[in-house]
Amino acid sequence: MEAGNHTEVSEFLLLGLSEDPELQPLLFGLFLSMYPVTVLGNLLIILAISSNSHLHTPMYLFLSNLSFVDICFISTTIPKMLVNIQAQSKDISYTGCLTQVYFFMVFAGMDDFLLTVMAYDRFVAICHPLHYMVIMNSRLCGLLVLMCWLIILSVSLFHILLMVRLTFCIGTEIPHFFCELAQVLKAACSDTLINNISLFVATALLFVFPLTRILFSYSQILSSLMRMASSEGKYKAFSTCGSHLSVVFLFYGTGVGVYLSSAVTHSSQRSSIASVMYTVVTPMLNPFIYSLRNKDVKGALGMLLSRAASCL
């Protein structure tokens, strides 16, 4: 194929999870059912927290932000995938692809940051309980969330500005069901050394550093729990971390699984199938994890649903 300037490329081709025509209806039905479940589940968490004054605390502020980000996260990729399957098309415009890359990075990064902030919140609550309300005041919580947004929006914009410099071949194929940054860079017809270095540095800073911070927070929490004399106190303190730990293991576990799958198999299709776990399954399961493992959220959801039922 002959390379051309990137402004001449009007669209890319998303190869999807499978090119087998017989599997398309199955994939369409599967993701069409998962998408509204994810949106509804996370929306219920947001409504339950906002409608219950007892949940207007730092931990639940961060949880409502996480639910909002998860709704946006899955909405970045799945609707376009469903449209393409329904229309039996693989097209995505050049602008649409860059937009998808940008918002995917933003919401994936925000998931990462919010889980880190939530780990810090649990660290302060368990290791410094007497100073919790002083340290985790509304101003600090708002500032932490704002800083997370500003950092990830800036980093994502930087990557998009680097991508705009690249040239792509006419009829460029992306072996994925959405425009994922690494796959788009592999499809470029020009030198991507600067982009790959920037991606490596960003991954180290935005993935490794937050994970290290989470591990440090929980090491301090574990150390604090070991010093507690009361076994009931230990259980009560650690139970507040159960939901968050489950989400952390799910998010980072699936992310590492995608990376290992890509590195070991060198198969783009297997990598894209594995990425379904953290792009679709994780946002869908988060509301269930928090509602089933957290009595406060479960109670707030029950009150919200009872109120809604009485209005019908």
Q: For residue 6, what pLDDT is reported?
A: 44
Q: What is the CATH number of the domain that holds 20?
A: 1.20.1070.10
208-232 per-position pLDDT tens digit: 889 899 999 999 988 888 887 677 7
Q: Is residue 102 within 8 Å of 161, Cβ to Cβ?
A: no
Q: For residue 7, what pLDDT is reported?
A: 45
**Mean pLDDT calculated for residue range 276-294:** 83
Beta strands 168-169 and 11-14 are: unpaired
| Residue 4, strand partner residues | 168
Domain that holds residue 96: 3-307
Beta strands 168-169 and 91-93 are: unpaired
68-117 per-position pLDDT tens digit: 999 999 999 999 999 999 888 889 999 999 999 999 999 999 999 999 99
Domain count, the chain: 1
Q: Is residue 312 domain-resident?
A: no
Q: Which residues contact 42 (CB under 8 A, 6 or more apart)?
A: 67, 68, 70, 71, 283, 286, 287
Determine the Cα–Cα distance for residues 296 and 199; give it in Å rounded to an integer. 40
Greater pLDDT, 113 or 261: 113
- Select the highest-mean-pLDDT range: 17-21, 84-88, 237-241, 254-258: 84-88
| Residue 93, strand partner residues | 11
Q: Is residue 258 domain-resident?
A: yes
292-303 per-position pLDDT tens digit: 777 778 888 888
Burial 97-133 (b: 16+ CB within 10 A, else e): bbebbbbbbbbbbbbbbbbbbbbbbbbbbbbeeeebe
Q: Is residue 164 domain-resident?
A: yes
